[in-house]
Every structure is written in C-alpha cells, then in structure tokens.
Structure 1
Amino acid sequence: MDPRIREHARTIVDHSTSVEAGDNVVVSAPSVAEDLVTAIHELLGDRGANVVAMDANPRFTRAFLRAGDDDYETPEHVLALYEETDVIIRVRGETNATEQSDVPPETNAAYKRAYKPVQGEMLSKRWCLTQYPAKGSAQLAGMSTEAYENFVYDAVTLDWDAQGELQQQLVDILNDGDEVRITSGDETDVTMSIAGNTAINDTAEHNLPGGEVFTAPVRDSVNGEVHFDLPLYRQGREVSGVRVRFEDGEVVDYSAEGNEEVLDGVFDTDEGARYLGELGIGMNRGIDQFTYNMLFDEKMGDTVHMAVGSAYPETVGADNELNESAEHVDMIVDMSEDSVIEVDGEVVQRDGTFVFEDGF
C-alpha cells in the first residue's frame, strides 16, 4: 500500500475527526477507495472504535432515483443510524464522473428535500469529507493518474497548523467587520452584511483538504450581481457561465451558458435555496489547478465562493436568521485579476493578494 494512503488515513482519523475509544463511526466510500478504507479501518480498530462501512456507489443511487416517482420519504432507518453515530467519514472517488447525468434535476431536488433531516443529523456530528485519487477523478481533472495522486496527497497532507496561522489573519479581519463588498471585472459587484456572524478557520477538520475562511451573510443583506466564471460540476453535468442577481438576499434572476436546467432544479428545491448560506474565501496556495472538484476548487487561492442554500449553524450569530435548505451549492469567482475584496470599505484583497501578504 502506498505510504501516503496511510498518512491520509491518519489525518482523517486523528486530525479531522479525533476518533476515540468507543466512538461509533460510519465510513461511506466507493469500492475504488478500498485501500484508503482499509487503512482507516486499521486505525479505527487500533483506537477501539466501532465501525460500519457503507458502499457509496453512484450507480446504486442513479438506479434508485431513475426508478422512483419523485415522491420520496425521509429514510427513517438511515436517520436512526446517524442519530447513534459519533463520527462520519465520507470518501469520494469517481470511476465515472457522469454516472448520474441522466437523473432529472427535479428528481434530485425531490430526493434532497426528503433527505434534509438526515443531512442535518450528519452535520451535527464530527464529520469529514475527503477524496481518494481515483482514475475517474483524475480524468475529470484532465490529469494523469500519477499527477492526480500527487496533487491529492500534497493537498491533504499540508502543514495544517501553519495554514491555520495564515488564515487566522483573515478570520480576525472578518470577525471585526460588518460589511463585505466583492468586485471582479465588469460583471461582479455584490455587497453583504456579516454583522454578528462568525468567520471559521478551515484547517481540514470537516473538509480534507481544507484551506478556506468562511462565514454566512446576513440572510436578507445580499445585493448585487455575480458572474461565477469558474464552472461547477454537479449531478454529472458541467454548469458554466453562471450569472446571478440578488435583491435583499434573494436570487431574483439567474442564467448559465451551459446546463442551466441544473440551476432550475437547485433554486426550485425550497425557499432557502434562493438565499446565500455561505461566503468562502480560498487560501490554499497548494491547490493550484482547477479540477472540477469543489472539495479542492473552492479552497484555491485567488478565489471566492458563495453557496446558495443551507448555512453552517456555527457561522450564524444568535441574533441572525439561519438560512435552511436541503441544498448547499458552491459557485466560484476567479479573483486573480481586476478583483477586490473590501471589508467596511477597506481593501483586504486585491487581485488575489491579501493585505497581510507580500506584494499587496
């Protein structure tokens, strides 16, 4: 077994989820990731945890959704499992990244609504989402298998203490601020309040790799237009050239150059799907290539992402409204050129470089 797989497993078990003796752990992963899952199981056994393994095969999900009638109920047996779970480890790894491309967006939206209580229970636990460098994922990224393996392992084995110190400087700025304005080129100019909310320093506790600072906008405060000029890959489809206009927090107009029907399904999921739940700022300079994988792409330096849908409760202050939704869909703006982030009128990033970095 590649020693980097064992290092990846140790980071998951010890850093990201801090597994202890007696913890009930669910590991959900595709069969292509069996080496990583095996290494995780060895560590869980050594730590004295209890483990349940689940095969996360998109072929199974596709078959189920295509055979259904969009009248889904919350799977109470799955909810019961997660109610009794302490730690959830989810591993991604594609053999066919387009497996679910022929599932209608409205079907995905219906399933998301039914699954929302399960999602909420999962997010209340110690959880980690990570990536196995499968060949299908490498192909989607346009990389050789070896190059993608190096890319993934370099990203997940970062010095997270040092990364956290870098990011804390932005956390402090945001936590002392009230209003954020983001401009990029001629098509992005958006303002939002973050007053009373909390910025989080992502050092790979939940997402591995980590490398962002994120918070939640005040729900009804977002105004302006955003051109998400980097594509997202969702439900086996590339959604490109997304443009969104916000008024008093709500998405009032949108378009996409490719696969706009995917956005139709997202925004029609529920009321909360038309509001922003997250503002994230990428700070991981080790992720230097776009790979059509949001787990990595949203962490890239020189990017900002905004997620429509559910907000993370830990980012929302007690006096502010938590945006709730069955969806959480991140979309990215390239901030490397002709771009500025302002906090309370002060420029904190210009063309991808932060005020506390050399070359600002």
Structure 2
Amino acid sequence: MSKTFDEKLNEYARVLVEAGVALQSGGKLLINAPLDARPLVHEMVRVAYRRGALDVRVEWRDEELEKLRLTEGGREAALFMPEWAMEQAERMVDDGYARIGLRGDDPNLLAGVDGALIAERSKKTAQMGEKVSAAITGHTVDWSLGAVASSAWAKNVYPDLSEEDAVARLWEDIFTVSRINENDPVAAWKDHTDRLARLTHYLNDQQFSAVHFSNPEGTDLTVGLADGHVWDGGAMAGATGNSTVPNMPTDEVFTAPHRDRVDGVAVASKSLSVRGTLIQGIRMEFKDGKAVSVSAETGEETLKQLLDTDESAAHLGEIALVPASAPVAQTGTLFNMTLFDENAASHIAQGRCYSTNIAGGSDEEKLLAAGGNKSLIHVDWMIGSPTTDVDGITKDGSRVPLMRQGEWVVEAAN
C-alpha cells in the first residue's frame, strides 16, 4: 500500500531526527527552517521529544526579510550584526545542541541586489560565525541538512506547473531521494550508508596521491590530495560518537585536496545557486592549486566576488565522487540547490576543507602542514556527468580506474 503525503512527511521527520542527527534521550536540538516548513518542523519536534529530547529550539527563517535589509536598510544596516546573536550560537555549540538545517530558499532571491554589498555581508557573517563553522566542519556537533518544498523554490524548479502542482512535485522528489518511499526509511539509510562506508574504506586503503577528472565537456583536472587525507561519506561519527548523516540526500564520498597541487581545467556540469544568485556555465583554470582564470555565462561577477572572500577562497577544500545513477540524478531535475545537485554529480568545493578529511586535522597547524585549506567559505560546484571518467593516481604515477562514464567501476561499490 502506498503511503499518504502525511505519512511520508512524518517518516521524513523521523529520518531527519533519528538518522540525520541520531538524537539520543537527553539530547538537545536546534532546527533552522523557512516558514514553509512549519508542518514538517512540528513533526520533527514531536519525534524529538518522544525520543527523550531535553530541549528543542526552532529558528524560523523568512528570506524576504534578508532581502529587505539589503535593499531598504542602507549599507550600515546591511552590515550590522549584533554580537549577542553570534554569542548565543556559540553557546549552543558549547552546550552540545545538535543542529538540523532545512533548505528551501529561492535560488534567485537576491538577483538584482548589489552584489558587492551581498559579498560584504556574507564575508562578515562568515567571520563572526567562524567558531560555529569550525564546529560543523570538524563534526564536534551533530548536524544534518534536509529540505522543504517551499513555494519559491518549487516554482523555480518547475516554472511550467501551477504553484500547487510544483510544490507537490517537489515534495515527491524530496521523499524519493531521501528514501522515504522505502518500507523502512531508517533501515534503508543504514544499508545505503554501509555501502558508502565500503567505498571510503577502499579509497583510504589506496592512499592515492591524486585524482584525475576528465570528460568531453572540457574538464581535465588533476587534484593532488592532502598528505594523510581521509575519505568520508554517508554516516559519520563526530565528537559525540553518534553515527549521523550530515546531508540528506547524500551519495558522495569526499576528501581534502592539497591546496597547492591542483592543475588543469574544471567546467561546471550544473548551475550553482549561491548568495541568492544563479551562476551558470562556470569554467576555471587552476595552476599550483589556485584558480587563475575564472569565467561564467551568468553570475560571473558574483562568482569572482566569492573567490575574493579571502586569499584561500580560490583554492579547493573538497573533491567528491558521486555516480551519475544516484537518485537525485535519476529524477532528471536540476534543483538549483547545492544540497541536491551536488548529489547528482561529482564535484569540487572552493574554500575551507573539512578537518575530518585530514589525519590530525583538528590541529590547525597539522591541517595546514598537510596541505589543507582554511577559508571563510565552502562552496561546492558540480563537474561530473554521465561522460566523466575518474582515475586514482598512485605515488608512482600509475592510474587506477575509479569511474567510467560517471559510474563506479571498483568492486567496493557493489
């Protein structure tokens, strides 16, 4: 018997709380969500308290308020951020609150807004939130990301449908790629993350010196890997010891590049939504780790401002391998949201690396010495496709096929 919408929504809430952050009895939870997410959030709170949560806090997000600050408030208002707000966020990290973020913002929300002002505010936000970001990338707090089919996002993805039909279609996509249509979604996630664990174990055993991406669309990129790099993917255990799933959906295995050992050309296979702007047709040329030539068909100025955030933003902090047959890719939909689109294609990320992707990376000196990248940003963009080949390069220069035509060819993937 097929599940009703309400049954699927309830299952999704359970998956986010139980599998996403693995909330335990006595745990504390912070949920950040857009207003459209109220029914889902209410069910998540119900699930959390039934599991014995001590406290559940909800931060509601109205994206139009952020736009009004930038368009109506003037520069001083645009750049104002009360220190107490960041102090509260830091206190919640120190107090062990798990975090679930629900994404669903309009990809084109800030189109037409002063890009330089957006860049200034984004940089200041990143600077003030550096402690919280470090806790997230270092997995010293349990966290997960999910999605909600907001009206604005749904109409962006399905512009030819009515608002009601677009929202319904997008919810079904979310349920499909999040394994909610399975008989037992939590068990289905366990099976899936076990498979990703087999891949990470294989890659960690190999300790390749570099990974090479190539496809007919123009990508020809050699990414040297950080010394003592560690591959992760699927479920992860942080400082709490809980087995969490940071991204839902997720089909990636990922690691840290060496910030100075990236050479070649990367061409985007999908658009990138960042800072309220849709960037399309990205092309970057890297030399000695740095993007030395940058262009885009649309949103080029926003892209260049992003790379100017700090001196490390033009270097890479992540590479991730994703099969072209992943559930997100199988929908045939371009979601214009990184959480989804990065799980439809192999990708790279500008900026900060995850400290867990380098042995001993929690020590900043060791992370930097190993070639890890420290930056205020971490922005993924997609370069994989059904025509992409990926090779692991050993220390002696030999090549080991990892993917052919966008699909895994190593036995660990089975």
TM-score if structure 1 supplies the norm length? 0.91
Contact kept in structure 1, 2:19 and 2:189, CA below 8 Å: no
Partner of residue 350, structure 1: 404
Matches within 5 A, 1:218-297: 218-283=258-323, 285-287=326-328, 288=330, 289=332, 290-297=334-341
Letter matched to residue 178 of structure 2: V
Contact kept in structure 2, 1:212 and 1:281, CA below 8 Å: yes
Question: What CA deviation, in whole Å up to 9, does each residue of 1:139-159 have, x standing for no partner?
Answer: 222263222111100111262
Question: What CA deviation, in whole Å up to 9, does each residue of 1:47-88 have, x standing for no partner?
Answer: 222111111221232334453436556633332233324201
Moved more, 31-40 or 318-327: 318-327
Q: Distance in 2 between matches of 1:348 and 1:64?
A: 47
Structure 1's consecutive aligned runs of 4 or more residues displaced over 4 angstroms after TM superposition are 70-74
Partner of residue 125, structure 2: 111
Partner of residue 91, structure 1: 102
Q: Distance in 2 between matches of 1:122 and 1:130?
A: 15
What do you get for the CA RMSD once the two structures are aligned?
A: 2.4
Partner of residue 307, structure 1: 349
Contact kept in structure 1, 2:252 and 2:346, CA below 8 Å: no
| Structure 1 residue matching 2:347: 3-state secondary structure | strand
Point out where structure 1 has 5 or more consecutive residues left out of the alignment. none
Question: What CA deviation, in whole Å up to 9, does each residue of 1:253-312 have, x standing for no partner?
Answer: 211111101112211111221110110112462112321111111111xx2100001111
Residue 233 of structure 2, aligned match among 197, 201, 208: 201
Partner of residue 37, structure 1: 41
Point out where structure 2 has 5 or more consecutive residues left out of the alignment. 180-184, 236-243, 361-365, 394-398
Q: Distance in 1 between matches of 2:201 and 2:28?
A: 35
Q: Distance in 2 between matches of 1:306 and 1:81?
A: 30
| Structure 2 residue matching 1:271: 3-state secondary structure | coil
Contact kept in structure 2, 1:87 and 1:125, CA below 8 Å: yes
Partner of residue 155, structure 2: 139
Contact kept in structure 1, 2:260 and 2:371, CA below 8 Å: no
Change in CA separation of 1:201 and 1:81 when aligned onto 2, cut-off 3 Å:
closer
Contact kept in structure 2, 1:72 and 1:111, CA below 8 Å: no
Letter matched to residue 292 of structure 2: V
Q: Distance in 2 between matches of 1:117 and 1:62?
A: 25
Contact kept in structure 1, 2:317 and 2:373, CA below 8 Å: yes
Residue 192 of structure 1, aligned match among 217, 220, 223: 223
| Structure 2 residue matching 1:88: 3-state secondary structure | strand
Letter matched to residue 213 of structure 1: V
Moved more, 96-105 or 148-157: 96-105
Moved more, 78-87 or 328-337: 78-87
1:151 matches 2:173: yes
Q: Distance in 2 between matches of 1:76 and 1:270?
A: 23
Letter matched to residue 403 of structure 2: Q
Contact kept in structure 2, 1:97 and 1:140, CA below 8 Å: yes
Contact kept in structure 2, 1:229 and 1:240, CA below 8 Å: no
TM-score if structure 2 supplies the norm length? 0.79
Q: Distance in 2 between matches of 1:72 and 1:173?
A: 48
Change in CA separation of 1:133 and 1:169 when aligned onto 2, cut-off 3 Å:
same
Q: Distance in 2 between matches of 1:354 and 1:100?
A: 38
Residue 167 of structure 1, aligned match among 196, 204, 214: 196
Q: Distance in 2 between matches of 1:198 and 1:279?
A: 12
Q: Distance in 1 between matches of 2:406 and 2:18?
A: 32
Q: Distance in 2 between matches of 1:189 and 1:285?
A: 23
| Structure 2 residue matching 1:190: 3-state secondary structure | strand
1:214 matches 2:291: no
| Structure 1 residue matching 2:346: 3-state secondary structure | strand
1:183 matches 2:197: no
